[in-house]
Structure 1
Amino acid sequence: MTTLYGFGSNGGGQLGLGHLEDSNTPQPCIGLPDDECIKKVVGGGNHSAVLTTSGRLFLAGSSQLGSRQQKQWEKNGGSTQYDWTVYNEPYPQHTWQDVACGWAFTILVNDSGNVFGIGSSAFGELGVVSKLDMTELCAIGPDCLVDISSVVCGWRHCLALTRTGTVYGWGWGKHGQLSGQRHQDSVIFSPFVLDVPEPMAQVACGHLHSLFLGARTNRVYGCGGNKNGQVGSRLGVANITTPTLCIDDGRTLAGDGDRSMAAWQLTTGWHHTALLSDEGRLVMWGKNDHGQLQDGLQHVTKVVCGSEHGLAQLDTGKVVAWGWNEHGNCTTDDDKVLAPVAVLPPALHTDNITLIGAGCATSWIGLSTK
């Protein structure tokens, strides 16, 4: 069983704490069952999603409803069918296997490998030609998005990965984040297969860029906005429109392909990227104006990037945080956390931490209560 704690920005009640105030101390989240194990927590603009190992989905925060609905929710003082300052289970009729949050939308994958969405559709995020927010679940690409194993979201674009390593994309692609595909309005409404160099084991989305981890070679490829080098070291190129091998200081970031992929983790913030090798070494590149990059951090077992900060669990069980901290998402009073700091208050113990999560200036840790 998992007890979830949230801290950081609490706009729209996205931390699930029962109120709208930010917190720089981990606080217990409300509305989650005490008899479930949590396997994933992710955050969007002002909302978050929790997925349990049994396939139950819980949502908190107002921006999942879409930008217009969020404004209406706030205007009405939060009075809707649900109280979004705590976690709710709005779709119990499904069994879910993955979830991802964009700025004002949520993408879901059920146990049959079908994809659904809710929230903003202004930039093709939900695979439909509509400027209206979707307040009910809608199927995305039902004719092509089948056998999907995972989904990720950027600010306004989405990637879906099949069990065989094929990558689909849709949404806003102006900066090449959808592998160079462009619409006259830079919006791709219909999911399509991205032209990537090999089958992929993992995919990740930043604000305006996309990353791909090769299943055969362990190599990391990237495309999209590169103003801060978040796609690679080609700092003179603002947008990279074709998936390109990521290089940092002359090194191939994902090694030579001789090791197992099981322990590798690829994660992105808005303008930075992180790769955790199977040896527990963290490699990071991109924007570093708030201490987002902790390149070379050792003995890491888990890592997640928030918008401009990061969390990592070390092999000692301790969780550390770094980066932009204006809302307390790194648990200190400093606006910038330039070196990793421990995030747990003394009352909580590190030996039973099973989960870490991050979003837009938001952070979560999950503790086993067995």
Structure 2
Amino acid sequence: MAEPPGTSCAKRTVSRYLTNGQRKGTPSNAVGEDEASSPQRPPRSSSRRANMAPDIAASSPLWRVPWQPSPLASKTRTRSKASKLITGAFSILPEELLGQILDLCTIEQVGMLRATCRSFANCSLMEVTAQRRCQTITRAKGMKPTAGKKETWLDLLRCLSSQPQAAAQATAVSLGAYHTAALLTHSRADPAALKLYAFGRGFHGQLGNGMYSDQAVPTPCASRDGRNYLGAHNGRPAVVSAGSNHNLLITRRGEIFAWGLSSSGELGQRDTPIDQAWPVQVPNVGPAWRTRMLSVAAGGSHTLAICETGELWACGRGRHGQLGFGSFEDVTTMRPIASLRGVRIVAAAAGEKHSLALATHGAVYSWGCGRHGQLGVPEVVHFQQNNPGVQPAMHTPQFVRALDPILMEPWDRITSVAVGLNHNAAMSVAGDIYVWGQNKHGCLGVGDTVNRVLPTKVNLLQKNVPLKRALQACSGPHRWKQPRSVQVALGAMHTLILIYTPARLMLAAAGYNGFGQLGTGAGQACQRFTPVDALSNVATACIVSGENHACAVAKNGDLYFWGRGDSGQLGLGNDFSQMTPQKLPGFQVAHPDHTLRSPYSRTCQSVR
């Protein structure tokens, strides 16, 4: 049946009147009652408007049902009466939707959901998601949780993700022999306030402020024109490395700036005075020379740097062969190491008289002084035994066969390296620690003081009751038979490791403790790794070590220093050594997003 003319107009008119009447809160069944109860009072204009609605509707030929409120108004009134909302009811959601929620969460958020939400506490979907993410990590291909440890896929995923996060954060702070350099800000909420600071000894100009005096509090570094490296966005500081008496900085453009002592050419300046109190750009490297640098390591008196193509460069003192150029001569300009050409280097570590490099496939190379077995090459030790009066050294990189990646599973291959004064450490993807070299004061953490000429795997819990108790407090009894490590850092004669537990990352230390650099609160040396209880309530993100002082960075950016402080290198405003970690007031370290972080935990490290 065809609609008569004006039908659409009538519909709109009825709808408009009904909606207006409902907005005023006048229901249809109450119109007649209001008029009957108060006949002497004239109706209000709004009531008169509402009273007209039934008459107009009844006069329309389209009216077929009794008049009623509009559906939209009814839904609005129903929602307004709802006083309680249902939130967090994940148990009523289908598994497909829960899986998508977990895929959108970061690894840390997934762990928080498991710890705080009952729906995810014992959910098998949580393990399925963690397993899928673990399988996408190339360096951990084929790796599975250890059943004997009662380890879950989520535990494994969190451990693997903590390794690159710690390495990236460590590029923003570096400790030298008697000074500290770091990318600091007063608040992480203001990235534009990020500056390069240094404090401690300044006798050789290593503080980079144009002066040669010590500073016991963080002092901004500046170039000679006072720019503070805050000009263009790409020119801001991104990576810092402190050697014994010199510093190196990489900007976001890939340029290198150097300052401090330059007696052996470690600043990479061909013609320079014996020291430099202002940061000066290093020639031959950078975008202008098509060699953008990504990582840098400052050693005792030499410098190592890695460009974006994986080529390793070096300069500085070479009398022990630590440059790897095939000679024992000093080199005052940055040059690539020819013997490693064709090998893609992803990490390097510069010590006092030797160097380490890590290739992308997990191979480890060493060169320099090998007097204490720190090269990990048996031939060097045999040569020393047959020639007692000769100090052995290798002036070209040597492959460490004991860590041959071909003989290892993918998860057992080395992913990071670190050096001390005369000892080394390497960490595998699975979190195992290998140490070798001089073991003075028990700095290798193996329970004795005997040197190791070959990489030796550390059994963290063997005859180590304090560490067992600390792990049980974080993980429950009998949870871990052999914990996994996240990071390792070496000082002159001590070693720090960051151990993964489901509750937090735990710091443990071994070696010399004459200045309190272990952070345990006691002055005696430890031949096995001892937990640092003073940081038990701190969510530690990474650790960094200098010659005799150390630093821990919390996840919120706070810094904690301890150890030797006679030159103000702890930044606490005094020259006292600290036996336990002390918080640096007023500053936070740069977030890893503002550094040139690598996709893996392989970055340059340097500790004397």
Secondary structure of 1:302 counterpart: strand
Alignment CA distance shift 1:113-1:64 (3 Å): farther
How high is the TM-score relative to the length of structure 1? 0.83
2:441·2:449 contact (CA, 8 Å) conserved in 1?
no
Higher alpha-carbon deviation: 245-254 or 289-298:
245-254
Higher alpha-carbon deviation: 49-58 or 266-275:
49-58
1:21 Cα deviation from its structure 2 partner: 1.1
1:59 Cα deviation from its structure 2 partner: 1.0
1:231 Cα deviation from its structure 2 partner: 1.2
Question: What residue is the counterpart of 2:152 in the other structure?
Answer: none
Q: Equivalents in 2 of 1:179, 1:304: separation in Å? A: 24
1:148·1:161 contact (CA, 8 Å) conserved in 2?
yes
Alignment CA distance shift 1:154-1:359 (3 Å): closer
Q: Equivalents in 2 of 1:73, 1:130: separation in Å? A: 23
1:44·1:101 contact (CA, 8 Å) conserved in 2?
yes
Question: What residue is the counterpart of 2:475 in the other structure?
Answer: none
Q: Equivalents in 1 of 2:607, 2:482: separation in Å? A: 33
Higher alpha-carbon deviation: 182-191 or 20-29:
182-191
Q: Equivalents in 2 of 1:57, 1:256: separation in Å? A: 44
1:349 Cα deviation from its structure 2 partner: 4.3
- 1:191-241 CA distances to partner (integer Å, 9 max, x unpaired)? 1211234420110000000101012x310010001011111233231x111
1:126·1:138 contact (CA, 8 Å) conserved in 2?
no
Alignment CA distance shift 1:327-1:74 (3 Å): farther
Q: Which runs of 5+ in 1 are unaligned?
A: 79-83, 362-370
Question: What residue is the counterpart of 1:126 in the other structure?
Answer: 323
Matched, 1:285 2:477: no
Please list, as runs of the form range in 1=range in 2, the aligned pairs for 1:106-125 lying within 5 A after superposition: 106-125=303-322
1:282 Cα deviation from its structure 2 partner: 0.9
- 1:145-164 CA distances to partner (integer Å, 9 max, x unpaired)? 62101110111111111122
1:271 Cα deviation from its structure 2 partner: 0.9
Higher alpha-carbon deviation: 275-284 or 286-295:
275-284
1:248 Cα deviation from its structure 2 partner: 4.4
What percentage of aligned pairs have identical amino acids? 27
Amino acid at match of 1:179: G
Aligned pair partner of 1:326 in 540, 562, 566: 566
Q: Equivalents in 1 of 2:562, 2:295: separation in Å? A: 27
Secondary structure of 1:11 counterpart: coil
1:207·1:270 contact (CA, 8 Å) conserved in 2?
yes
1:17 Cα deviation from its structure 2 partner: 1.6
Question: What residue is the counterpart of 2:76 in the other structure?
Answer: none
- 1:166-210 CA distances to partner (integer Å, 9 max, x unpaired)? 111111111111114415531011112112344201100000001
1:54 Cα deviation from its structure 2 partner: 3.7
Higher alpha-carbon deviation: 139-148 or 322-331:
139-148
Between structures 1 and 2, the one with greater helix share = 2
Aligned pair partner of 1:207 in 421, 441, 450: 421
Question: What residue is the counterpart of 2:494 in the other structure?
Answer: 272
Q: Which runs of 5+ in 2 are unaligned?
A: 1-191, 385-390, 404-411, 472-479, 520-530, 596-603
Q: Equivalents in 2 of 1:19, 1:213: separation in Å? A: 39
Q: Equivalents in 2 of 1:102, 1:114: separation in Å? A: 18
1:320 Cα deviation from its structure 2 partner: 1.1
Amino acid at match of 1:280: L
Question: What residue is the counterpart of 1:33 in the other structure?
Answer: 229
Question: What residue is the counterpart of 1:227 in the other structure?
Answer: 440
1:145·1:191 contact (CA, 8 Å) conserved in 2?
no
Please list, as runs of the form range in 1=range in 2, the aligned pairs for 1:174-193 lying within 5 A after superposition: 174-181=371-378, 182=380, 185-193=391-399
Alignment CA distance shift 1:174-1:200 (3 Å): same
Matched, 1:45 2:45: no
1:338 Cα deviation from its structure 2 partner: 0.8
Matched, 1:311 2:517: no
Alignment CA distance shift 1:131-1:358 (3 Å): closer
Secondary structure of 2:199 counterpart: strand
Question: What residue is the counterpart of 1:364 in the other structure?
Answer: none
Q: Equivalents in 1 of 2:239, 2:377: separation in Å? A: 30
Secondary structure of 1:113 counterpart: coil
Amino acid at match of 1:343: L
Q: Equivalents in 1 of 2:257, 2:241: separation in Å? A: 11
Q: Equivalents in 1 of 2:340, 2:558: separation in Å? A: 45
Amino acid at match of 1:98: S
- 1:30-49 CA distances to partner (integer Å, 9 max, x unpaired)? 12521345342111121011
Matched, 1:245 2:463: no
CA RMSD of aligned residues (A): 3.2
- 1:262-285 CA distances to partner (integer Å, 9 max, x unpaired)? xx2221111111112343211211
Q: Equivalents in 2 of 1:24, 1:335: separation in Å? A: 10
1:353 Cα deviation from its structure 2 partner: 6.0
Pick the structure with greater CA Rg. 2
2:254·2:293 contact (CA, 8 Å) conserved in 1?
yes
2:206·2:247 contact (CA, 8 Å) conserved in 1?
yes
2:242·2:298 contact (CA, 8 Å) conserved in 1?
yes
- Count, aligned residues: 345
Secondary structure of 1:284 counterpart: strand
1:311 Cα deviation from its structure 2 partner: 1.1
Q: Equivalents in 1 of 2:481, 2:508: separation in Å? A: 15
Q: Equivalents in 1 of 2:498, 2:376: separation in Å? A: 24
Question: What residue is the counterpart of 1:20 in the other structure?
Answer: 212
2:369·2:393 contact (CA, 8 Å) conserved in 1?
yes
1:46·1:64 contact (CA, 8 Å) conserved in 2?
no
